[in-house]
Each structure stands twice: as C-alpha cells, then as structure tokens.
Amino acid sequence: MLAVAACLSLALAVAARADELPQGFVYLRDVAPSIVQDMRYAGPDNFTGKPVPGYGAAECVLQAAAAKALARAQVEAQRLGLSLKVYDCYRPVRAVRAFVAWAGAPEDGRTKHYYPRLNKSRLVPGYIASQSQHSTGFAVDLTIVPATAPGKADGDERDCTAPAAGDGSLSMGATFDCFDAKANTASPLATPAERKNRRLLLRIVEGAGFKNYAAEWWHFSYPGGGSRRYDFAIGPRPAP
C-alpha cells in the first residue's frame, strides 16, 4: 500500500507540474501582452499543412531575457503606430524532426506555394536544418503590423513571393516561411517599398538587442543565450 501511495503521490506531483515551463522560460503574453501572436505551427496554416508536433497551444514561449527584449522592441513599434506580430518562438526539437521528415516525404503539392521555385527534395539542408536556434528559446520569427491590424487572417495560398502577405502585416516581398531567395533580408528581388519595410523591422528588433539571420527577413536571435536545445511541448498558458 505504501508503494501504491508513493506512486500516486508522484503521479499527482507530475500532473501538478504539467503546465509549468522549464526554469527560465516564460509565456510572452505574460511579459508583452500587446504583441500580436499568430502561431502558425499550432494549426494547419504552415508549410507542412497541419499542426506540428509539440505545439499543443498557440502560445509564444521564450526564455525570459528574449521575451523582455521583445517587450522593449514593442514599445518602439507602438511609438511608430505599429505592433510586432510573432509567428514562431520556442520550437520543440520534435518539431524540427517533423520538419525534416516532412521534407523527405513524397511531394503532394498541397503547400507548394511555400516553395514555388524549388523541388521539395532541395529544402534540406538549404532551408530546413536538422537543428534550430528556436529550440534554445532565444529565437523568434516575427513581422510588423499596423496597430489596428487583425491578429490573424485566413490561410493565404498564393505564391509566397506575392506582393502582399495577406495577413495584415506590412508587405515584405515574401511571406513567413517562404523558401525562396526573395526571402533573404537584403534580397534585390524585393521592391524599394518592401526593402524599406524590412529595414524598419530590423531597426525596431535589432534596436532591442536581437540579430537577424540574413537568409530570412523574419528570423531574429537574442545573443548570449547558450546552445542547449529543449523538447518540452508547448501547452496552454495557465490561468492567472
């Protein structure tokens, strides 16, 4: 009986901790609630065409230092009549593995608009890596929207290099997760207006301490965060 009671006690303790984050992680909503969240991998509106393993809730989770830096960037964005909008934050290792597995599966054409000029077989390793800085909790994918823009729009199945993103954000010349050279931050394929919007995003986010990844205008990492990668699932944010 004592053994049974001990096991029950342990099970209850584990259950009580199920909605807690590892030490150092926070829900962005608790740090910067005004930042718009459009967490693409928690639903089907992404290049895999379905919810991604590890995304049990549409919540941005980050290491606290990165979340606080984003809050500072949001202050600057709001000063300009804008808002940040995040697409992805912490990414479980299991999600990264799912991306690689998807890239290795036969082409079905359902999400071809994310890689209009490439064969799916060429996405690894050029665009999809076997490891991601997102899994450390110090990387974020984001854009900027007018302060009055809606938080989420229906999925847009146009070519990802179409002039506008279709989700209310400022046009960057390539949508989030567009596997194309036009997604490079300094791509000459973008129009002058699109390059201007990209420079504005850089100024706002890098001004708060982040560094942009040159191949993706939307990807920023907060330096000094270490290299440990995590694989805990993202769950619903606990009620206050």
Q: What is the pLDDT of residue 16?
A: 32
171 in a structural domain: yes
Amino acid code (one letter) for 34: S
102 in a structural domain: yes
- Kindly report, residue by residue over 100-121, the tens digit of the pLDDT: 999 999 999 999 999 999 999 8
Given a cut of 60, whether residue 217 has pLDDT beyond it is yes
- Kindly report, residue by residue over 10-69, the tens digit of the pLDDT: 333 333 344 589 999 999 999 999 999 999 999 999 999 999 999 999 999 999 999 999
Given a cut of 90, whether residue 226 has pLDDT beyond it is no
Q: 194, 169 in Cβ contact below 8 A?
A: no
Any idea what the CATH number is for the domain that residue 166 is in? 3.30.1380.10
Q: What is the domain count for the chain? A: 1
Q: What is the CA radius of gyration of the chain?
A: 19
Q: What is the pTM of this model?
A: 0.89
| Catalytic residue check, 216 | yes
Q: What is the pLDDT of residue 19?
A: 55
Q: Which residue of the set 76, 107, 157, 216 is catalytic?
A: 216
Q: In the structure encoding, which two tokens stand for residue 18, read together?
A: 């199920």
115 in a structural domain: yes
Amino acid code (one letter) for 59: E
Three-state DSSP at 202 gives: helix
